[in-house]
Amino acid sequence: MSEGKKRRVHTAEFKAKVGLEAVRGVKTVTEIAQEFGVHPVLVGQWKKEILENAGALFDAKRGPKPIDESSPEDKLYGEIGRLKMEVDWLKKKPGAVSQEARLGWIETEHEKLPLTRQCELASVPRATVYRRIDAASRQACEDESELKLRALIDEAYTSRPFYGSRRMVVFLRAAGHVVNRKRVQRLMRGMGLAGMAPGPNTSRAHPQHKVYPYLLRGVPVTRPNQVWSTDITYIRLARGFAYLVAIIDWYSRKVLSWRISNSMDASFCVDCLEHALRHHGKPEVFNSDQGSQFTSTAFTGVLKREGVTISMDGRGRALDNIFVERLWRNVKYEDVYLKGYANMAELMVGLAQYFAFYNAERPHQSLDYQTPDQVYRDGVGGGALIVDRFGDDEKKSQGKSNTGQRRAAEAVETGTA
């Protein structure tokens, strides 16, 4: 195997540094990957490892730290002596460490230590380092191509949520992109997208997570906090992308809580749920799709603890969660696509402003042009009823108990939910 194709070995400290940057949530995975010269998949993996193992830091009991009574001068001379010993020791050791491991020491963005000096200290050829930088740059170009495809898929899916991977391939090829179905499936899967029509393997839970039945078909929603619902959507940014999760009240369409993340893990979904419970009480039924974030024990455990009944959409049944799907359409066409956010910080501020407007000022046709805040507060004029578009047609004729429910059913038919 040629030297340029050797697998790069990352130290534990490097992984922790990259993972913590991802946990901060200030930058997208793409930005972090380009900054540190690693593949975006690794950024997500290291972030997940930190989140899953962070609790272990607080398990072991720690005694009080000993008091250091040495003078500042003693500390300074001691530090100088220690550094000199370590440098002398390092100069003797490069031969005992593989070149691949030493290449992992190089920090291309170090502020004070030039790249040439780093190569000398690590005893690695500068040519090899420059080849790796060039390879990372080519990877970044490939990532840009992926981002463009994701953006096109996102826009097409928002206006045509019935598009599965086959139709999306036709759409992208018509736009001049050379893609196959396997690639489109991978991109859509990473974005959490699936066509609305039922089909095999369109929404797959984690194999070890319990999946709950769907409980809301044909059930009239007649009051606030009767049913809450959640979902995740993909948000494109100028450099990378983010994921948005939101929880809404079905009766009033009020957005009760929302969070953004640079990876599609369960932690930001749990945080969103706990915020909604703290500030709005608890629902009788909580509905979600079968994604691994919502079937995880961390997420369902919170609902069980609060005594909330859990409902989950059937596979490929995006219509089961039509009110959140409609929210995503509004968010993107009325805010995200218009403003073109550059980064996570801008997105956070912009969405905070939009959801405040959405709840308090934006009139909804299905609520008789009242705002979600009004309907949620007064408990009048809202409602919801999911009818079965793919079967059980007799349920369409089921009577609705009030005006809000009739409007909700009509909104499902006309796309104005």
Instruction: Determine the residue type at 119.
Output: C
Instruction: Determine the residue type at 195.
Output: G
Contact 269, 294 (CB under 8 A): yes
Q: Report the distance separating Cα 257 and Cα 276, nearest Å.
A: 5
* Structure-token pair, residue 247: 């929880």
Nearest CA to 267 out of 54, 53, 51 is that of: 51
- The CATH T-level fold of domain 227-414 is Nucleotidyltransferase; domain 5 (3.30.420)
Query: Which neighbouring-strand residues pair with 243?
Result: 234, 261
CA neighbours within 13 Å on the CB side: how many for 150? 24
Domain boundaries, the chain: 3-54+70-132, 143-191, 227-414
Q: Report the distance separating Cα 202 and Cα 232, nearest Å.
A: 15
Q: Report the distance separating Cα 402 and Cα 286, nearest Å.
A: 22
Nearest CA to 193 out of 227, 251, 152, 137 is that of: 152
* Structure-token pair, residue 86: 């370590």
Provide the terminal-to-terminal Cα distance of the chain, rounded to the nearest Å. Answer: 58
For the question of whether the overall pTM of this predicted structure is more than 0.85, the answer is: no
Residue identified by tokens 């992109």 is 177
pLDDT at 63: 56
Q: CA-based angle 97:101:105, to the nearest 5?
A: 110
Contact 325, 318 (CB under 8 A): yes
pLDDT in tens, the chain (417 residues): 444 445 567 888 888 888 888 888 778 888 888 888 888 878 888 888 888 777 776 665 555 555 556 667 777 877 787 777 766 666 665 566 777 777 777 777 666 777 777 787 777 888 887 777 766 655 555 567 788 888 888 888 877 776 788 888 888 888 888 888 888 888 888 777 765 444 433 344 555 668 899 898 889 999 999 999 999 998 988 878 899 999 999 999 999 999 999 888 889 999 999 999 999 999 999 999 888 889 999 999 999 999 999 999 875 455 667 888 889 989 998 999 889 898 999 999 999 999 999 999 999 988 999 999 999 999 999 888 876 544 443 333 333 334 444 444 344 334 455
CA 186 to chain centre: 16
SS3 call for 282:
coil
pLDDT at 403: 45
Strands 240-249 and 255-261: antiparallel
Cβ count near 225 (within 10 Å): 18
CA 364 to chain centre: 28
Instruction: Determine the residue type at 142.
Output: E
pLDDT at 322: 82
Nearest CA to 37 out of 103, 120, 133, 143 is that of: 133
Contact 219, 250 (CB under 8 A): no
Any residues with CB less than 8 A from the CB of 119 and at least 6 apart, and which?
106, 125, 126, 129
Q: Is 182 buried (19+), middle (13-18) or exposed (0-12) by CB count in 10 A?
A: exposed
What are the backbone angles phi and psi of residue 378, rounded to the nearest 5°? -90, -20
What DSSP element (H or E) covers 364?
none
Q: Report the distance separating Cα 196 and Cα 218, nearest Å.
A: 18
Q: Report the distance separating Cα 120 and Cα 416, nearest Å.
A: 65
Any residues with CB less than 8 A from the CB of 156 and at least 6 apart, and which?
163, 168, 171
Q: Report the distance separating Cα 276 and Cα 295, nearest Å.
A: 18
Nearest CA to 296 out of 227, 245, 241 is that of: 245
